[in-house]
Amino acid sequence: MLRRNNAARIQQTLNGVETMTRFALAVLALASGVYTYLGVRGLLDGTATFVFFAAIIYSAAVSVAIYAFWTFMLRFVPIVTAGVQRIGLFVTMAIGCFMIMAMSSWLNAAALAGSAALEQHLAVTLQGYVQDLDEAHSNALASQSLLPDVQRASERFARLAEDERNSGALTGTTGSGSVVQLLTQMSAQMNELSSTITNSRTEVQGQFDQGSAHLARMRELVSGTGDVGPRSDEFAAEVVQLNAIIASLQETGVAPSVKRAAADLSLGFIAPVADGGTTDLVSRQDAVMGTVRESVAAQSAALATAADEILAQPKVEPTRFVPLSSAEAVLRYWSDFIPSWAGAISIDLLPVVLVLVLMIAYDAMRRETSTIEEAETMTAAEMIRAMDLYRQLSGKPMVDPGIVEVAPAEPAPPIEEPATMPAGEADKPAGTDATVTPLDVTRKR
């Protein structure tokens, strides 16, 4: 009896929460439809009217599909007890959940985290451009590392020329002869190359400052407030200008110019004719100019090698900015928005919990009523045999099932005849001692 009472209470509880279950399912389907509308609206192109009605129709279809699907699951899964059929329903429910996520959940996530995902995309792109500008700036300044070598070579040639002029340190004869002219010429070429490298630094710094200004504006757009769409468009305009500056920085490097100048030092070496007054002095001048030529060739090779190392560095490939929709941004940066994905999926798949609760409740109710299942399915023949067995065990006589016992009727009580009254008795007035019988009362009535 207690088990049957528990089953009855479970049944009453299920009946009581049925309305609440329908209401909750309708609210969840409606909420999913609303967020689906917000998500799909950003994917459609066309006039405002077309986008509005198309998004409304799609979101309404999603809401109806979710409500109908979970209604079927709530109705059938709890009452199906056979193993194969229940497994089939579970497989069907899994397929339906996957389809719901495909048509609704990712759009819900786009509505919940679409703006944040677009800002994340802008931030990632900005980080890439910061790195590109730094690399281009570094490559442009790499040729500055050649400046100390060029300056040392220029100073060395100038010092040798001065020593030869004042003390004849190279030829043994003082004065401004062919050797002094050659050394002065080499020092002047090195000075020109040094000036070229120095001047490029100012130009590179100016372009880097312009690029930094564009990056600052892009940071303001990423961290700004308001609709992310207009900010994304302005961000794209800044990207175009920044790409132009990065390309200009890569062309500003003077490493190619240094390499050409170094080659000219060796290949274009022109030694003056020895102008010494004696044959001995002329031979000494030729020997010194040959030594200078070898020194210039060595210096040229060293500069060319250093320039080749700079030119061998890979060029910067500017980051390509690709505008994304909110849904595409959510899919690309899904790992950064796991809470939003969890909320979007929970709206659509929360009825799974309701299905499982109802299934457990129905199973418990079936277990509670399992003791009377045979009585509910007993046939009339089984009932008659059970009654006969009970009479045999209790000692009562057996009764043929084909004979209906009729209880004997009790004899009716005898009918008393009313006593006759003398003729004069009936006319006596009330209050006399005449006896009134029940029959007289009946007659009066």
The CA distance from 52 to 119, in Å, is 25
pLDDT tens for 21-53 read: 899 999 999 999 999 998 888 788 778 889 899
Q: Where in the chain are the domains?
A: 2-114+335-375, 118-324
| Model pTM above 0.75 | no
- What is the model's pLDDT at position 267? 60
Any idea which of 177-181, 354-358, 437-441 has the lowest mean pLDDT?
Answer: 437-441
- What is the model's pLDDT at position 282? 66
| Conformational region of residue 173, where left means phi above 0, alpha means psi within -120 to 50, and beta covers everything else | beta
Residue 430 has pLDDT above 50, yes or no: no
- What is the model's pLDDT at position 1? 47
- What is the model's pLDDT at position 421? 47
- Cβ neighbours around 409 below 10 Å, total: 6
Which one has a higher pLDDT value, 157 or 418?
A: 157
pLDDT tens for 80-126 read: 888 888 899 899 999 999 999 988 888 888 888 888 888 889 999 99
pLDDT tens for 280-333 read: 666 776 777 777 777 777 777 877 787 777 777 777 787 888 888 887 888 888
Residue 170 and residue 288 in contact, taking contact as beta carbons nearer than 8 Å:
yes
Q: What would the 3-class secondary structure string for the chain be?
A: CHHHHHHHHHHHHHHHHHHHHHHHHHHHHHHHHHHHHHHHHCCCCCCHHHHHHHHHHHHHHHHHHHHHHHHHHHHHCCCCCCHHHHHHHHHHHHHHHHHHHHHHHHHHHHHHHHHHHHHHHHHHHHHHHHHHHHHHHHHHHHHHHHHHHHHHHHHHHHHHHHHHHHHCCCCCCCCCCHHHHHHHHHHHHHHHHHHHHHHHHHHHHHHHHHHHHHHHHHHHHHCCCCCHHHHHHHHHHHHHHHHHHHHHHHHHCCHHHHHHHHHHHHHCCCCCCCCCCCHHHHHHHHHHHHHHHHHHHHHHHHHHHHHHHHHCCCCCCCCCCCCCCHHHHHHHCHHHHHHHHHHHHHHHHCHHHHHHHHHHHHHHHHHHCHHHHHHHCCCHHHHHHHHHHHHHHHCCCCCCCCCCCCCCCCCCCCCCCCCCCCCCHHHCCCCCCCCCCHHHHHHHC
Any idea which of 225-234, 356-365, 417-426 has the lowest mean pLDDT?
Answer: 417-426
The CA distance from 30 to 305, in Å, is 72
Q: Residue 334: which residues within 8 A CB-CB, separation 6 or more?
A: 109, 341
Mean pLDDT (whole number) for 380-397: 76
Return the percentage of the chain with pLDDT > 90, whole number. 13
- What is the model's pLDDT at position 438? 41
- What is the model's pLDDT at position 5? 64
Which among 295, 282, 303 has a CA at the least distance from the CA of 161?
A: 295
340: tokens are 């939003």
Which one has a higher pLDDT value, 290 or 400?
A: 290
